[in-house]
Amino acid sequence: MPPKATKRGKASKATTTTTTTPEESEPKTTATSAPDLFTKSKEAYEQELKDLAKKARSQKGYWAGQFAIYTHTFILLALIAIASNVSQLVLSPVYGSIPAAIWHSKLVMAGCFTGWASNIFLDRALPIEPVELLPLIAMYIPPAQYLLFKASGYMGAYYGPLVTELLTLFPLITVSSACVATNLEYADFGPLPKAIAEAVPGLGSFGFFKVAEKLSGDFIVQNIGKNFYMTRIGLEGLLAASYTTIAPSKFLLLGVPALLHTTLLNPHLASPMALSRLNSGLEKEGWHVLDRRDSITGYISVVDSLNDGFRVLRCDHSLLGGEWVKFKDTPRFKGNQVAEPIYGVFAMLEAVRLVQVPNPVPDNEAKALVIGLGIGTTPAALVAHGINTTVVEIDPVVHEFASKYFQLPSNHTAVIEDAVSYTDRLVNETQGVGQYEYIIHDVFTGGAEPVALFTYEFLQNLHSLLKPNGVIAINYAGDFSHPPPLLITNTIRSVFGSSSCRIFREHPRDEAQAAAHNGRDFTNMVFFCTKVSTPTQGITFRNPTPRDLLNSPSREAFLLPKFEVTDDDLLRAVNGSVEEAKKLGILRKNETATLEKWQTESALGHWEIMRGVLPEVVWVNW
């Protein structure tokens, strides 16, 4: 650890850097013992100071002390960089990743500035060294989050993350920044000019923090869920242990209650005992968590409704899909090849088989590509029809849970990879020759779409992979009161052509319900497009047969699309202005800001909807 300051203030740099060793026979010389320097010329004065500094640098132990200062500083910066990422991860199951990030960067910068500007005040005002507070703050963060999450319904998705991080992450960053500022008061920047030397500590510290934040964030995403320590609460425990190592003190005993709460009472802990304790409380409310895992796309869990008899796959504060389990062993459904989905949109996606095209291919000769797995409702139906089906899913845990807890058949080809890189490679390997009769594009979580998967470039890849007589279905969840659905429509039509696409929504617009949600009209919409241009009548669907319906009431109700989206519906977001619609343009991979700026609004609306789908007790307890 670097040298500690006295409570009334630190010894000056000059004093610290000019102290001689006891063995030296020369008289001790310090900056405070040389007032006569001011009687000399300016040049002589500056030369004297340089000589003193040079002498200090040559003393035994000086550079070891400098090394300790920098090491301690870098460790503090690295720890708050990791804490910044972990805080966002912990908030995402309760608020979703986008609402959790609304205030995050501003709060981090405010914490850095506050700590940097108040290090001297904290040194003098606190009864202990500020660095000794860090382990206690880190220990109490998980219990504080646990309590604050219970109030998330009152605070809402906009202010809830701000309040939570203000009472947890902000104190950690503030005190850490103050300690960094204190350390660097003792740092030697060598021959740097004064103006540069004064700027280096602040700018250098923030630069190092941002690099560490990026690198640690990438590392966490790549490794999260691989062991206990790479879970959300496990990482918070590692942070607390790390702070304890760099700032041991007798005050650590004050953190014991926090540690006991985290290990014995916190349901977020990734342990069998915590899950059992969680279910003992949830079952009284009619819910049960079958399994849960931290993974690369978020917190993944399988939740059963004991009262209503359905099962859902959760990712952070969103649902990837769900099915009715209470019907599985009843006489009508026993032996069915597919489950009953709880959302009609998943059945509607299967209508790609009903689109009439020239020279249709029999199911047993057809190939399908599914982008995004969810619980596997659509892939299971395609496999049931005998279609050779490939599923591209970025999250291995989603595939594992869909196979283990839902009715995803094993006879499909699973590609666990990012869809952008996979389709890029596949298009290059096949030289743009169509491979699939059917493509289903169904990616959505947390109230916002993965932007890269709706760009013109990605959709061009799908267009290339689709055979000349092929059909694509694209599910997009959005709010018709905002421009994104119109932007996505422009992009899809620019690839497949306006006359080759039709759009349907899951349910008809309910004016009363939309008004109740602050004018929002959030819904799933499905684009059906072909490569065949049919300007006279557009895309048409054949009537489903009993075989198409797979003995499923959900498919009887939702398989054939009913509620078509018109251009007037899309233009509502721009007050019916065709000129404004044209100004939106299309979504390109290097020009995604137009869509991203609306994601926050969409995610906040989706958060409210999800709080009505599952009760708060499920969301806040993970």
> Which of 101-105, 307-311, 484-488, 508-512 is the least confident region?
508-512
pTM of the model: 0.86
Give percent of the chain above pLDDT 90. Answer: 65
Could you give the C-alpha distances from 310 to 53, 420, 524, in angstroms and in order? 74, 33, 20
Q: Which residues pair with 310 in a beta bridge?
A: 305, 324
2 and 69 Cβ atoms separated by less than 8 Å: yes
Q: Which residues pair with 541 in a beta bridge?
A: 355
Residue 160: how many CB atoms within 10 A of its CB? 23
The rounded mean pLDDT for the chain is 87
- Strand duo 310-315 + 298-305: pairing: antiparallel
Sign for the pseudo-dihedral over CA of 14, 16, 21, 22: positive
| Long-range contact set of residues 220-226: C-beta below 8 Å, sequence gap at least 24 | 220/82, 220/85, 220/86, 220/89, 221/296, 222/296, 224/89, 224/294, 224/295, 224/296, 225/293, 225/294, 225/295, 225/296, 225/397
- Arithmetic mean of pLDDT, 335-352: 90
* pLDDT of the residue at 596: 80
Higher local confidence (pLDDT), 545 or 59: 545
pLDDT at 7 over 80: no
- Arithmetic mean of pLDDT, 205-225: 95
In angstroms, how far is the first alpha carbon of the chain from the final one? 39
pLDDT at 488 over 50: yes
- 């003190």: which residue's tokens? 249
* pLDDT of the residue at 424: 95
Pick the CATH number of 336-621 from 3.40.30.10, 3.40.50.300, 3.40.50.150, 2.70.210.12: 3.40.50.150
pLDDT band at 534 (very low <50, low <70, confident <90, very high): low
H or E stretch including 59?
A: none
H or E stretch including 371?
A: strand 367-371
* pLDDT of the residue at 498: 84
pLDDT tens digit sequence for 571-605: 888 888 888 888 888 999 988 887 888 888 888 88
- Strand duo 367-371 + 388-393: pairing: parallel
In the chain, where are the structural domains located?
Answer: 20-57, 62-264, 336-621
Give percent of the chain above pLDDT 70. Answer: 87
- Arithmetic mean of pLDDT, 286-301: 96
What would be the CATH architecture of the domain defined by 62-264? Up-down Bundle (1.20)
Higher local confidence (pLDDT), 37 or 551: 551
Q: Minimal CA–CA distance to 499: which of 529, 465, 469, 460? A: 529
* pLDDT of the residue at 584: 87
Q: Minimal CA–CA distance to 577: which of 514, 494, 483, 477? A: 483
Burial (0-12, 13-18, 19+ Cβ within 10 Å), 497: middle
Residues 6+ apart with CB under 8 A from 555: 347, 350, 381, 544, 548, 549
Angle, CA 346 vertex, CA 341 and CA 352 arms, to 5°: 135
**HSE of 603 in the Cβ direction (CA atoms, 13 Å)?**
26
- Arithmetic mean of pLDDT, 36-65: 60
pLDDT at 195 over 90: no
pLDDT band at 523 (very low <50, low <70, confident <90, very high): confident
Could you give the C-alpha distances from 261 to 65, 139, 140, 258, 277, in angstroms and in order? 39, 10, 9, 5, 13
> Which of 77-86, 509-518, 539-548 is the least confident region?
509-518
